[in-house]
Amino acid sequence: MVNADSLTSSLSCVDLSNPDINQSVNSLKQACLDSGFFYVVNHGISQEFMDEVFAESKRFFSLPHKEKMKLLRNEKHRGYTPVLDELLDPENQVHVGDYKEGYYIGVEVAEDDPKSHKPFYGPNRWPSSGILPKWRETMEKYHEQALEVGKKVARIIALALGLDANFFDQPKMLGEPIAVLRLLHYEGRISDPTKGLFGAGAHTDYGLITLLATDEISGLQICKDRDAKPQKWEDVPPMKGAFIVNIGDMLERWSNCVFKSTLHRVLGNGKERYSIPFFLEPSHECLVECLPTCKSATNPAKFPPILCQDYLSQRYNDTHANLTIYKKQQNLQY
């Protein structure tokens, strides 16, 4: 059972090839004030390569469950996340978790690198090249290209907030980002909100911005007013060749709630669905505090400063199953 009462959302479209930067800034700003979601087109990643990335993602999720579990995510959130591992909306999901499986890939950092002791830095977990020969090469290339797109969007966001275009390019911000690529596969289940069954429960994203690539299967919904009773959900249609971009809680916090981090979820309609979100966050040491252009004597900062690594660690730990307990339940040896 899916929600038949949902509306179709009409999102703004930001064209990264547009020579009129003011038009792009105004379009993005209005989208961030309205819903926190918008499409990005002409981003520079070819459709041919996007198709290749999705094909490699499907190859991994087609592996036997036993093979995927050998790459179970570690404490740094690298690797495989099984169905029901993530519980995004505990109030409404009757504690069964999301009906999706995923795979985390971050910035590759060697074990002997001084940064590897930090929560979100370290080596990735990779499938054997004997099983998936092109997999690592494809995902590393996509991670690199998506990061460049994310930085371009961040520059437009900076201008929309009245900042210098390179504000987020500083070393302690996106100079050493926590950039996480996540492959997702939704089972061919039918969601039923009345029973707490979701592909992905209602949530807001944690960080700066998310770039979402999807296949042609719909499922994403947004709720512009999370406090409304009842909540009104709008479908966000896939757009071939475009990213669906949304801002996260960290940017809402940074902008003193000027820009909105919007509640969203995924409802399954009985068809398999694949999507690839790319989460762009600043570095571990970045101090997230109210931007100077977003506060005044009559509108003081609403949140205390917080380090990015502390904020993200808490958010990830709140939504994922306890890893030690999970391994014991699965009788896994590591």
**Sign of the CA dihedral 50, 263, 175, 123?**
negative
Q: Which helix (H) or strand (E) covers residue 201, if one does?
A: strand 200-203
Examine residue 258 and state whether it is found in any structural domain, yes or no.
yes
**Does residue 334 form part of some domain?**
no
Which residues span the domain enclosing 127? 7-329
Residue 206 lies in a domain: yes
Domain contains 25: yes
Q: Is residue 1 part of a domain?
A: no
Q: Would residue 2 count as lying in a domain?
A: no
List pLDDT tens digits, range 69-122: 999 998 888 999 999 988 888 888 877 889 999 999 999 988 888 888 777 788
- pTM above threshold 0.95: no
- The pair phi, psi for residue 252, each rounded to 5°, is -60, -45
CB atoms within 10 A of CB 197: 20
Q: Is residue 157 in some structural domain? A: yes
Q: Alpha carbon 171 to chain centroid distance? A: 22
Q: What is the residue-level pLDDT of the chain in tens, covering all 334 positions?
A: 444 455 666 899 999 999 999 999 999 999 999 999 999 999 999 999 999 999 999 999 999 999 999 999 988 889 999 999 888 888 888 778 899 999 999 999 888 888 887 777 889 999 999 999 999 999 999 999 999 999 999 999 999 999 999 999 988 889 889 899 999 999 899 999 999 999 999 999 989 999 999 999 999 999 998 888 888 999 999 999 999 999 999 999 999 999 989 999 999 999 999 999 999 999 988 999 999 999 999 999 999 999 998 888 887 777 765 545 445 555 544 3
List, as one string, the DSSP characters of 23-67.
HHHHHHHHHHHHTSEEEEE--S--HHHHHHHHHHHHHHHTS-HHH
- List the CATH number of the domain containing 284: 2.60.120.330
**Number of domains within the chain:** 1
Rounded distance between C-alpha atoms, residue 218 and residue 214, angstroms: 9
Q: Is residue 49 part of a domain?
A: yes
